[in-house]
């Protein structure tokens, strides 16, 4: 956030509220009511928090922005993946995806408008980075999802009459993955602050192990995270087992090549005792052949980790293709037989362009 921009309600840590209230001449005990209003009742404006006297609501409204991101479009696929295109106050657009699975909602959130890392098959990087998102805008994406989920699960009067004692679960995603637009470690402070707010018991209260940061391999970010003593999950987008291939797919590899990246991941594991998940997007013929699996096994053999295979979601501007299911399954099988904890991500939400940045790209191009 630039110094001149207003404070954002969703960008403040729960512990910041008491001192802020004092500064504004509001009795500090009101902080609890504010937090309940924001994160239990999902207030969308100060005037909705009616536990606060009108004059206090007015003071808050004058100093702290509480305004939902504008929902520009909502697209749902046949398999109920929902993609939201959201508008920021300066007119920039960001996207977030909701993926229901096994009774839980996973939300994929963005940290930047655009991205500077220009991975070959990622739509977010095609126009470079426009700006970082504030912590309030990152949390705001989850608040938008909560509002949507609340509207979808609003218990009918009949439900409430039939089950008077039943508590309806607060509408919130069970998992957050920082895998939308942007490179999280290129906006480290705002991203970590947002995750702390999402994680905080008086915030959205999502368990740290259900919050996953994904990086294209920004080594200083991995090192910084390993010193924080936080329990968030870390994914590293590897996508290729050799520098020759990774240089072509992820330009970041020229700055931080594979050997350094893997050494940093080892240090991360030694320091935190937490397993890193390596993301590996499978691209037909390019990195999905048995020789690639063998190289990957060799590369990761001394590092306790998990591997997540993602069949490519085709994007305009990159002529790679998604491998057929048999090739993906055989790659998976080879890694499992070599003893790696490996999953193959079912691709979902194809009709809604659920790969990062695709929806924003379409709207920029005016399709
Ligand atoms: N910048 C971070 C987070 C955003 S991308 C990172 O690179 O990890 C989240 C994941 O989606 C990354 O693993 C990325 O490489 C992958 N991805 C991007 N575009 C994709 C596509 N078209 N098909 C499959 N995976 C893609």
Q: Does residue 323 surpass a pLDDT of 70?
A: yes
Q: What per-residue confidence (pLDDT) applies to 1?
A: 44
> Of 21, 108, 146, 356, which is the active-site residue?
356
User: For tokens 């060799």, what's the residue?
Assistant: 298
- The answer to whether residues 48 and 144 belong to one domain is no
Ligand 1 geometric centre to CA of 206 (Å): 23
Question: Can 95 be counted among the known catalytic residues?
Answer: yes
Report the nearest-CA residue for atom 17 of ligand 1. Answer: 122
Span 100-141, pLDDT tens digits: 888 889 999 999 999 999 999 998 878 799 999 999 999 999
**Atom 3 in ligand 1: which residue has the minimum CA distance?**
179
Instruction: Examine the pLDDT at 2 and tell me if it is beyond 50.
Output: no
Decide if 37 is inside a domain.
Answer: yes
CA distance 361 to 129: 13
Q: Which of 65, 80, 111 is the last residue of a domain?
A: 65
Same domain, 38 and 95: no
Judged on CB neighbours under 10 Å (0-12, 13-18, 19+), 242 is middle
Give the total residue count for the chain: 367
Asked if residue 335 lies in contact with residue 296, where contact means CB atoms within 8 angstroms, the answer is yes
Ligand 1 centre distance from Cα of residue 86 (Å): 20
Instruction: Tell me the CA–centroid distance for residue 3 and ligand 1, in Å.
Output: 32
Span from the CA of 97 to the centroid of ligand 1 (angstroms)? 13
pLDDT at 286: 97
In this structure, the residues whose C-beta lies within 6 A of any atom of ligand 1 are 119, 121-122, 179, 183, 214-216, 237, 279, 281, 310, 312-313, 315, 355-356
- In DSSP notation, 241-257 reads SSHHHHHHH-THHHHS-
- For the CA of 183, the nearest atom of ligand 1: 1
Last residue of a domain, one of 65, 89, 109: 65
Residue nearest to atom 18 of ligand 1 (CA): 122
Q: Is the pLDDT of residue 360 over 70?
A: no
Order of strands across the sheet with 276-282?
70-76, 82-87, 93-101, 104-108, 175-178, 211-215, 233-237, 276-282, 305-311, 341-344
Q: What is the mean pLDDT of residues 151-170?
A: 59
Distance 308 CA to ligand 1 centre (A): 12
Mutation test residue for ligand 1: of 114, 129, 179, the one with most atoms within 8 Å of CB: 179
Q: How many domains does the chain have?
A: 2
Residue 356 predicted with pLDDT over 80: no
The secondary structure of residue 199, as a DSSP letter, is: H
Among the listed residues 8, 95, 233, 279, the single catalytic one is 95
Task: Specify whether 248 is located in the same domain as 348.
Answer: yes
Q: What's the helix, strand, coil split of the chain in %, to 5? A: 40, 20, 40
Q: Which pLDDT score, from 0 to 100, does residue 367 have? A: 44
The three-state secondary structure class of 335 is helix
Q: Which ligand 1 atom is the nearest neighbour of the CA of 117?
A: 1
CA distance 285 to 321: 9
Indicate if 249 and 322 belong to the same structural domain: yes
Q: Tell whether 27 and 114 lie within a shared domain.
A: no
How many other CB atoms are there within 10 angstroms of residue 282's CB atom?
A: 22
As a dihedral over the C-alpha atoms of residue 116, residue 183, residue 349, residue 283, rounded to 10 degrees, the angle is 70
Q: Give nearest CA residue, ligand 1 atom 19.
A: 122
* In a shared domain, residues 310 and 326: yes
| 76 and 40 co-located in one domain | no
Of the chain, the end-to-end C-alpha distance in Å amounts to 31
For residue 98, the model assigns a pLDDT of 94
Which atom of ligand 1 sits closest to the CA of residue 178? 3
209 and 286 in a single domain? The answer is: yes
- What pLDDT sits at residue 192? 98
Q: Which domain holds residue 19?
A: 7-65
Q: Indicate whether 85 and 58 sit together in one domain.
A: no
Where is the domain boundary, 49, 65, 81? 65
Together in a domain, 58 and 76? no
Please indicate, yes or no, if residue 1 is contained in any of the structural domains. no
Alpha-carbon torsion (194, 197, 198, 204), positive or negative: negative
Domain containing residue 40: CATH number: 1.10.150.530
């Amino acid at each position: 956030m630039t110094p001149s921009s207003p404070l954002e309600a969703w960008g403040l840590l729960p512990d910041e509220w008491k001192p802020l209230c004092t500064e504004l001449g509001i009795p500090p005990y009101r902080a609890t009511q504010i937090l309940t209003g924001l994160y239990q009742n999902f207030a969308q404006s100060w005037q909705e928090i009616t536990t606060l006297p009108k004059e206090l609501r007015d003071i808050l409204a004058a100093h702290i922005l509480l305004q939902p991101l504008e929902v520009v479009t909502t697209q749902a696929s046949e398999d109920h993946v929902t993609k939201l295109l959201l508008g920021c106050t300066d007119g920039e657009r960001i996207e977030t995806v909701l993926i229901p699975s096994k009774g839980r909602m996973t939300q994929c959130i963005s940290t930047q408008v655009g991205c500077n890392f220009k991975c070959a098959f990622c739509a977010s990087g095609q126009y470079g980075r426009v700006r970082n998102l504030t912590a309030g805008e990152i949390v705001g994406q989850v608040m938008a999802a909560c509002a949507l989920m609340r509207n979808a699960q609003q218990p009918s009067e009949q439900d409430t009459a039939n089950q008077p004692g039943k508590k309806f679960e607060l509408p919130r995603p069970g998992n957050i993955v920082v895998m939308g637009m942007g490179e999280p470690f290129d906006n480290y402070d705002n991203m970590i602050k947002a995750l702390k707010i999402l994680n905080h018991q008086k915030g959205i209260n999502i368990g740290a192990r259900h919050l996953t940061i994904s990086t294209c391999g920004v080594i200083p970010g991995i090192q910084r995270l390993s010193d924080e003593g936080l329990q968030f999950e870390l994914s590293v987008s590897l996508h290729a087992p050799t520098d020759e291939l990774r240089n072509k797919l992820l330009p970041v590899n020229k700055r931080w090549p594979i050997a350094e990246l893997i050494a940093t991941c080892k240090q991360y594991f030694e320091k935190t005792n937490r397993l890193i998940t390596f993301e590996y997007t499978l691209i037909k013929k390019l990195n999905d052949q048995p020789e690639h699996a063998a190289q990957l096994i060799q590369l990761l053999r001394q590092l306790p980790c998990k591997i997540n295979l993602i069949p490519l979601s085709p994007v305009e501007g990159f002529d790679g293709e998604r491998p057929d299911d048999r090739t993906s399954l055989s790659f998976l099988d080879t890694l499992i037989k070599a003893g790696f904890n490996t999953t193959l991500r079912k691709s979902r939400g194809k009709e809604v362009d659920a790969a990062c940045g695709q929806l924003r790209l379409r709207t920029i191009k005016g399709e």
